[in-house]
Chain A
Amino acid sequence: MNRSIENLPPGAPDPGQNPRDLRDEDLIVLVQNGHRRAFDEIVARYKGRLYSFTLRMVKDPHLAEEMTQETLIRVYMHADKYREIAKFSTWVFTIATNLVRNRMRQKSRAPRMLSLNPVPEEDEQPVDPPDPHADPSQAIEGAELGDLIAEATAKIPEKYRIPFLLREVDQLTYEEIQQVTGLKLGTVRSRINRARNRFRQNIKPLLKNEDLLAELERIEAMAGSEDEE
């Protein structure tokens, strides 16, 4: 049953085509014209990336799931506002980033919430000082690799973490990150660099742990064999 609502504008993608073969920017045009299956394809493409990003920002899985949902709902409800002067992915991550920022702002306004991780203020600061709270002897034994990495990521100051995750998790280009965050290109560069530096300090204790490295290789081998299927 075709529930298409109205005639597509000239030059619009063919709704009969398999959604998987369409670009994001074509899918959203179909969504703008009421094609629900095109939206399902967008969801399939973005939900994992959005969840990885939000979870690594807010840490709480339920909240991250909610925010991923909220982002996708906004994409659907406000599809009409998208214009192809920006890449679709940039638009989606702008929505997600703004939701994350709003949430962080609310959280930081809440009383009795003290930051355990003071944020060095200036980008110009030459080298990040070592995190005084990092404890290399902390118990790694028994912890899940995923939790350790989540912890190490969460300790990156927020303003560095956003561009870092957009790059490392969501594979956005520097130009796209610039558009999403509104930062200058040079600032994007330096913040990603700083985040990597900080992340390295945070995972340093893990990198000496043979078991965890073996675990990493096991996960990679499994992912590799799945890809071949």
Chain B
Amino acid sequence: MTCSRIREWISLEMDGQLEPRRVASLERHLEDCAECRSYREDLHLGQRLIAATEPQLPESFDWNLRLGLSRAMREAAQAAHPWPERRPGWQTWFSRAGVAAACGLAAVLTVAVLGPMDSLLPRGSGPAAVVIDDPTLRLPRSTGEPAVAVDASRRPLERRFLPVSGGFGGSLQRGVSNSSLLSESSTPRLDDAQVVRIRQLEQDVETLRRRLFAKDRQIQFLQARLDSVSTRGVDRH
């Protein structure tokens, strides 16, 4: 038996992976071979050194993680329901998916200007699910088991990301998605006065949108703090 093979066995033995029938041969070799004996001692010492020098995370880690989580949730929510960018032309508003309060407001205002909106909206168009295909998230290849189909669309992520208690979480999910509105034959004809009015409303919506976004951030932040405080309070013995 070569020393090199014996050293493989020593490594396996440390992890409880050496076949029992080989243990006796290993011990026999070690009795006669001072080199391999010292090799094994060094490996054990190495394990102790690693265990004894385990690095410590800074105290601030949990807090930073919460901030990081809030940011990630906000980004995910925004990816699911992008705030519309300000663009010339009133139609931008209606061709965009999702911003609940804005759309709700727009709907109300539009009803005032154009009449009932129901007839203009296609039925059953909900917000799109977030589909994130990230290679780092694939499940490990498992031994002999079939590959896992990761079904990101099964549960739209935004259900969990948005503030749930009170607020506008619920209404955000009912945002309208309607990209084909203007191409429909039922496209309303607007006179100049109506267009001017819509531009004004658009500006109002923009202002409200900014406020809403600022409040959303504030809520996320306060929620994170609340979670932190209540968790600590409960966990302390």
Contact = CB atoms under 8 A, between A and B. Distances in A.
Interface of A: 1, 3, 5, 34, 36-37, 40, 43, 47-48, 51-52, 55-56, 61, 64-65, 68-70, 72-74, 76-78, 80-83, 85-86, 90-91, 94-95, 98-99, 102, 126-127, 145-146, 149-150, 153, 167-169, 174-175, 178-180, 182, 189-190, 192-193, 196-197, 199-200, 203-204, 206-207, 216, 219-220, 223
Nearest to A153: B50
Contacts of B165: 1, 3
4 nearest A-B residue pairs (beta carbon) = A179-B140, A98-B136, A193-B11, A146-B53
Contacts of A40: 231
Interface string B35-49: 000010011011111
Contact of B65 (A69, A78, A197): A69
Contact of A127 (B4, B46, B231): B4
B86 interface: no
Interface residues of B, number: 58
B7 A193 contact: yes
B141 interface: yes
A148 to B, nearest CB: 8
Contacts, number: 157
A90 B139 CA distance: 9
Contact of B137 (A5, A78, A175, A206): A78
Interface of B: 4, 7-8, 11-12, 15, 17, 39, 42-43, 45-50, 52-58, 61-62, 64-65, 68-69, 72-73, 76, 132, 134-143, 145, 148, 150, 152, 154-155, 157, 159-160, 164-165, 227, 230-231, 234
Nearest to B226: A1
Contacts of A175: 143
Contacts of A216: 48-49, 52
A207 B68 contact: no
Nearest to B57: A51
Given A69-B68, A168-B47, A80 B137 contact: no
